[in-house]
Amino acid sequence: METTPTIEDHDSSIVDIVPKSARGVLRQVRQSLDPVSVIVLVAIAIGIYNVIDWSQIRTLDFGIIIKFWRPLATAAGMTIGITAAALACGLVIGILLAILLELRIGFLRYVLNAYIEIWRNTPLIVQLFWVHFGLPMVTGISTTALQSGLLALTLQSSAYLADIARAGIQAVPKGQWDAAMALSLPARTKWIEVILPQALKIMIPPLGNLAVSFLNGSALLGVLSVGELMTISTRISDYTSKPIEIMTVVALLYLAINVATTYLTSRLERFAGAPR
């Protein structure tokens, strides 16, 4: 005997089609939309609407962005490239510093700690000026604006990453150290195949946060006219006399890059099985 499909059966079939992640998001949205939250959101929206001078907003010309989207996109790529290169080089240096600190080599430990404290606790803009103008006076070696910016970012990131790497190394379970020692593994094998792979998984979340911080901090490279996003946007702003429109779009670009970085970090955490 055939049965007629009911409404409940139809609803359940629809639920089965919707991915679990989407159902979770919809459930959270429904739970968050309680009456008090809705009233607060409406009140905030009304307040913002009344505060904004809409006559001034209508005078803004965001069409100017269409004319200059290519240099802005190129500059955004430059910002991503410089930050990624600085973090990659800084990660290598930071891991080496962390390993040397774990070895507890006498006086060298104090030198390394001094290096970390200096680059962590001085402003990036001061470091940029010192590297670009002071370093050539001391060493006689001149650098371009791009080289100086990359060097300053790398040195500062290495100091932060040394602390992150040291924390990751120290978080590796003691049993792993004991097992490596019991097997009499060579130091190179112990670090490369046992300790560092586990430490890197632990380092992923703070690495993502640091990447976002340095992406924002890279705007300071504009003082050397490196050619990244802030430099190019300032030039376009001065040329067009449209600072609000240009800087609004630049803010959205930084936001998009940072959101993408955070998303990729979370995906990498899940892929690597990093502890939360």
For 202-245, write each residue's pLDDT tens digit: 888 999 899 999 999 888 888 888 888 898 999 998 888 888 88
Q: Residue 275 — very low, low, confident or very high, per pLDDT cuts 50/70/90? A: low
Task: Give the rounded distance of the alpha carbon of 47 from its chain centre.
Answer: 33
**Which domain, by its residues, includes 215?**
68-272
Q: Residue 28 — very low, low, confident or very high, per pLDDT cuts 50/70/90? A: low
In a domain, 25, yes or no: no
As for how many domains the chain has, the answer is 1
In a domain, 36, yes or no: no
In a domain, 48, yes or no: no
Judged against a pLDDT cut of 50, whether residue 12 lies above it is answered with: no
pLDDT tens for 46-94 read: 888 788 777 777 777 778 888 888 999 999 999 999 999 999 999 999 9
pTM for this predicted structure: 0.77
In a domain, 11, yes or no: no
In a domain, 27, yes or no: no
pLDDT tens for 83-138 read: 999 999 999 999 999 988 888 777 888 899 999 999 999 999 999 999 999 888 88
In a domain, 147, yes or no: yes
Q: For residue 84, what is the domain's CATH number?
A: 1.10.3720.10
Cα(92)–Cα(84) distance, integer angstroms: 13
Cα(170)–Cα(73) distance, integer angstroms: 41
The residues, any chain, with a CB within 8 Å of residue 93's CB and separated by 6 or more, are 154, 158, 161, 162
Cα(158)–Cα(118) distance, integer angstroms: 11
As a whole number, the mean pLDDT across the chain is 83
In a domain, 1, yes or no: no
In a domain, 61, yes or no: no
